Copies of this chain bind each other. A is one copy, B any other.
Amino acid sequence: MSSTYGEKLKITIFGQSHSPAIGVTVEGMPAGFEIDMKKLGAFLSRRAPGKDDTSTGRKEGDVPRFLSGLVVNTVCGAPITAIIENTNIRSHDYDDLRDCPRPGHADYTARIKYGESHDIAGGGHFSGRLTAPLCVAGGIALQILEGMGIYIGAHIVQIGMEKADRYDPVNVTREDMAILQTFPVRSHDEEERFRREITAAKAEGDSVGGMIECCAIGIPGGVGDPMFDGMENRIGRIVFGIPAVKGLEFGAGMEYASMKGSRSNDAFFVNDGKIETKTNNSGGILGGITNGMPLVFRAAIKPTPSISMEQDSVSLSEMKDKKLSVKGRHDPCIVPRAVPVMEAATAIAVLDAILCK
């Protein structure tokens, strides 16, 4: 395991889905910063499940308890550790999976790596539940960034066959990044179409994937450390740490493959005494370093592997093929809940890069 990320702002995530608690330790948060706990709670509730029928029916009381690093709510300079107790434990749902791994899940590879001692209950350390402590750290980072005039927002741009409008990568504002209270998209039409995809999948005992777009505005130019700690590398390292992310593209991303330089190069111009670019195919990053334009990327999220439909798997003990039906309550689509996680991860990567400057 290597559940540590960052250089000046260093986070270490611990816990398994069904361990007594999960949590995060954060080193390097600037001493003297006072955390707005109410705002942090509101941010965390965006990730919490059980709000409606597009997510799992499990209830998770994701209220962090800060064990260290604060005096009242102010960062004191020592490492911050926050934990979330695991109360909703139903381990017997997972007994069968020890022998019969879920297709698309880490059950099998974790078994190879850690042997029979691997904690398979709820996916162990591989569970999406581990994004809750990531959101605790990221939620604080978001508050610090806001104090610097940097705002990060994400929204769903695709679920299954349905797509939504992307941000305008040149002119996106904080208002453009506002999402609906009911669903992390920017219009009720999008919400309706996306919900339809999810409920259709759920009705079939299936799940569905999607894509999230994330944007950070207000980052000054000059942030990022090439060759291997450029902004793409930094964001890549943390975002691929979010379970289910399998693709990542910055700015024009995959479309660059079909472009010519005359169109893909973002022309510079002087705007109101500042140097800006007319287009933003680069997603705000040139040579791994921010150029002051909005930083934009998209991440593809694979469908939840835990589905109730019968699937082909194997019995590890008997080394023969076996049918599997996954029991328990699972999200038919993880994408909506992954939106704040993407913001949290981005905030950590950006704040760390700024502190490294």
Contacts and interface: CB of A to CB of B under 8 A. Distances in A.
Given A78-B119, A287-B110, A254 B105 contact: no
Interface in A273-307: 273, 275, 277-278, 281-283, 285-292, 300-307
B291 A109 contact: yes
A3 B264 CA distance: 27
A124 B248 contact: no
A321 B254 contact: no
Contacts of A273: 319
Given A23-B67, A101-B268, A232-B245, 8 more contacts: A2-B225, A2-B228, A3-B27, A14-B81, A19-B70, A103-B277, A109-B291, A206-B262
Interface stretch (A136-144, A167-175, A309-317): A309-317
Contacts of A3: 27, 78-79, 226-228
Nearest to A275: B314
A79 B20 CA distance: 13
A258 B71 contact: no
Interface of A: 1-5, 7-8, 10, 12-16, 19-23, 25, 27-28, 31-32, 65-71, 74-81, 83, 101-106, 108-110, 112-119, 124-126, 130, 158-161, 201, 204, 206-211, 221-222, 224-230, 232-233, 236-238, 240-241, 243, 245-262, 264-270, 273, 275, 277-278, 281-283, 285-292, 300-307, 309, 311-314, 316, 319-321, 356
